[in-house]
A and B are shown apart, each in its own frame.
Chain A
Amino acid sequence: MIKATQKPIDEIYEMVKGSKKVLIAGCGTCVTVCFAGGETEVNLLAAQLKMAAAANGEQFEIFKATPKRQCEKEFVAELAAKVMAVDAVVSIACGVGVQVLAEVYPKANVSPGLNTSFMGPPREQGFWYENCAGCGNCLLHHTGGICPIARCAKSLLNGPCGGSNGGKCEVSSDIDCAWSLIHEKLKAKGKLEGLNFISGPKDWSTARDGGQRTIVRKDLLLKNE
Chain B
Amino acid sequence: MQEINNSSIPPCQNACPVKTRARDYVRATAMGRLEEAYKIITENNPFPSVCGRVCMHPCEEACRRNSIDEPISIAALKRYDSDYVNENGLFIDTSSIITSGKKVAVIGAGPSGLAAAVKVVEAGHKVEVFERNEKAGGMLRYGIPRYRLSDAALDEDIKRIEAKGVKINTGKAVGADINLDDLLQEYDAALVSVGLSDSRALPVEGMDAAGVHLAIPFLKSPKDTKAGNKILVIGGGNVAIDVAKTARRLNTNAEVTMACLECAEEMPASVWEIKEAIEEKIEIRNCMGPRKIEVKGGKAAGMRFITCASVFDKEGRFNPSFKEDEKHFIEADTIIVAIGQQADLSFLPGELTNNGRLIYDGGSLAVTEDGLFACGEVAKGPGAAIAAIAHGNDAGKAINQYLAGQEINLIENESEVIGELPAKVVKKIVKKERQQTSHVAAAVRIKNFDEFDNGLDKQQATKEALRCMDCGSGAFVNQDKCVACLTCVRVCPFNVAQIDKKTNVAEMPAEGCQACGACAADCPANAIDLGGYSLAEILEEVRAAKAQTVGFICQSGQEVNFPGVHQIRVKCPIRLSEGVFLESFAAGAKKVFVICHSQDDCRYIKGGDYVKRRVGYVKEILDNIGIGSATLEVFDKNQKEEIKAFLK
Contacts and interface: CB of A to CB of B under 8 A. Distances in A.
Interface of A: 8-10, 28-29, 32-35, 38-41, 43-44, 46-48, 50-52, 54-55, 66, 125
Contact of A44 (B481, B579, B627): B579
Contacts of B481: 28, 39
Contacts of B180: none
A95 to B, nearest CB: 19
A33 B582 contact: no
Interface in B566-595: 577-579, 582-583, 585-586
B621 interface: yes
Interface of B: 481, 483, 485, 487, 490-491, 523-527, 577-579, 582-583, 585-586, 621, 624-627
B582 A47 contact: yes
A54 B582 CA distance: 13
A134 to B, nearest CB: 22
Nearest to B485: A33
A38 B585 contact: no
Contacts of B487: 125
A51 B586 contact: yes
A173 B605 CA distance: 35
Given A10-B624, A39-B481, A39-B525, 6 more contacts: A34-B524, A38-B525, A40-B525, A40-B526, A43-B579, A48-B586
A28 B582 contact: no
Nearest to A13: B625
A8 to B, nearest CB: 6
Contacts of A41: 524
A125 B526 contact: no
B483 A125 contact: no
A49 to B, nearest CB: 9
Given A40-B524, A40-B525, A48-B582, A32 B625 contact: no
B627 A47 contact: no
Contacts of A38: 483, 524-526
Given A39-B481, A40-B579, A44-B579, A51 B585 contact: yes
Given A32-B483, A44-B578, A47-B585, A55 B525 contact: no
Contacts of B626: 55
A163 to B, nearest CB: 33
A32 B527 CA distance: 11
A8 B624 contact: yes
A33 B586 CA distance: 25
Nearest to A55: B626
A52 B481 CA distance: 29
B625 A9 contact: yes
Nearest to B524: A38
B625 A51 contact: yes
A44 B582 contact: yes
B583 A47 contact: yes
A52 B624 CA distance: 9
Contacts of A33: 483, 485, 524
B624 A9 contact: yes
B621 A48 contact: yes
B493 to A, nearest CB: 13
Contact of A35 (B524, B527, B621, B627): B524
Given A9-B621, A9-B625, A40-B577, A47 B483 contact: no
B483 A29 contact: yes
A28 B483 contact: yes
Which 10 residue pairs spanning A and B have beta carbons closest together? A39-B526, A47-B582, A38-B524, A47-B586, A33-B485, A125-B490, A50-B586, A40-B526, A35-B524, A38-B525
26 contacts: A9-B624, A9-B625, A10-B624, A28-B525, A32-B483, A32-B524, A32-B525, A38-B525, A39-B524, A39-B525, A39-B526, A40-B526, A43-B526, A43-B579, A44-B582, A47-B582, A47-B585, A47-B586, A48-B582, A48-B586, A54-B586, A55-B625, A55-B627, A66-B525, A125-B487, A125-B491
Contacts of A10: 624-625
A73 B627 CA distance: 38
Contacts of B483: 28-29, 32-33, 38
Nearest to B526: A39
Contacts of B621: 9, 44, 48
Most central of B527, B582, B585 by chain A CB within 10 Å: B582
Contacts of B491: 125
Contacts of A48: 582, 586, 621, 625
B617 to A, nearest CB: 9
Contacts of B579: 40, 43-44, 47
A156 B10 CA distance: 61
Contacts of B627: 51, 55
Contacts of A8: 624
A169 B585 CA distance: 43
B548 to A, nearest CB: 14
B546 to A, nearest CB: 13
B479 to A, nearest CB: 13
Nearest to B527: A39
Nearest to B520: A40
A9 B626 CA distance: 10
A38 to B, nearest CB: 4
B305 to A, nearest CB: 71
